[in-house]
A = this chain, B = another copy of it.
């Protein structure tokens, strides 16, 4: 067992004043603790993007329409999306799994698979978005992807999402699972105006009230009622990744709502997570607090999703791992602990 104290002793033995690398040392310490080694691995790494559509868009709660889902799936797989570009720039393998969009399937490759549970969720403003069975099938698809990553030798994983309308279920799940009010958890998503924001508030508030009533007796049913297929898949992915010892880099608001679900599926999942950033969506800080996670890029105001925030942290993870594994100690350099 490598204790946090032992990691700190090592960090303080390196050729620098104690703590002088600031949050890079926090990142290094977390990586060492998760991997239980002073030689943490940050590659190979993979971002799995789960894509799905949401019936709730018919309530007018989104800036973009579901008609762009297929175009964005093609853009991601084709290499032109923010996630595709940042995955290349950071040396991260990218795969997209369609767990429930309206998009036509593309030819299967190592970078794309169609595993639709259903073509979009039902409208959560009118009734349960998913049945517990549908929810569970999406969770299992996520679990499969975590096992596949481990089988391929991947050491660090992240999950991202592409789902027009998915900040609405993410707001619901955050309110439901992080003990926040619906009001606090609703933001503008891709950029909806004031009127749409009012509709989103009302929809989330009603759906959360209904789900809260069944959370204790039927937690899976409650989460399914306000969930999304990509969020359920992310939850399964995180829970399984934590179970089998992968290091998980956590993206933004929607992914973090999946982490809240994962923590319900498998208590302790959050201890395997590294929170990459704090998004501009107001619910994200609440979701992170609910998991006791401190985000690293906490002033970067990202709100795109697609795993882009997690990707940005990857090279900083490399830097943190290099500091721990490669820096000379004071003793190596002939410097006394008092700096003389």
A-to-B contact residues, CB < 8 Å: 14-24, 63-65, 67-68, 71-72, 74-75, 78-82, 85-86, 88-90, 190-191, 280, 297-304, 308, 311-312, 315-316, 318-319, 322-323, 326-328, 332-335, 339-340
Contact = CB atoms under 8 A, between A and B. Distances in A.
A185 to B, nearest CB: 19
A54 to B, nearest CB: 15
A327 B17 contact: no
24 contacts: A15-B72, A17-B303, A17-B304, A20-B190, A20-B302, A21-B302, A22-B302, A23-B300, A23-B301, A24-B300, A68-B335, A72-B335, A74-B333, A75-B333, A80-B328, A80-B332, A80-B333, A81-B328, A85-B323, A86-B319, A89-B322, A298-B299, A312-B316, A315-B315
Given A72-B333, A75-B15, A333-B72, A316 B319 contact: no
Contact of A81 (B15, B24, B300): B15
Contacts of A24: 300, 302, 308, 312
A82 B16 contact: yes
Nearest to A22: B301
A68 B337 CA distance: 11
Given A21-B302, A85-B326, 10 more contacts: A22-B301, A63-B339, A65-B340, A68-B339, A72-B335, A80-B328, A80-B332, A82-B327, A88-B326, A315-B315
Contacts of A308: 21, 24
A15 B298 CA distance: 24
Protomer copies: 2
A11 to B, nearest CB: 11
Contacts of A335: 68, 71-72
B190 A17 contact: yes
A339 B17 contact: no
A287 B304 CA distance: 33
B191 A18 contact: yes
A148 to B, nearest CB: 26
A190 B335 CA distance: 14
Nearest to A78: B328
Contact of A299 (B14, B299, B302): B299
A75 B329 CA distance: 10
Nearest to A65: B340
A215 B79 CA distance: 56
A129 B311 CA distance: 46
A72 B336 CA distance: 12
Nearest to A70: B334
Contact of A63 (B17, B82, B85): B17
Nearest to A298: B299
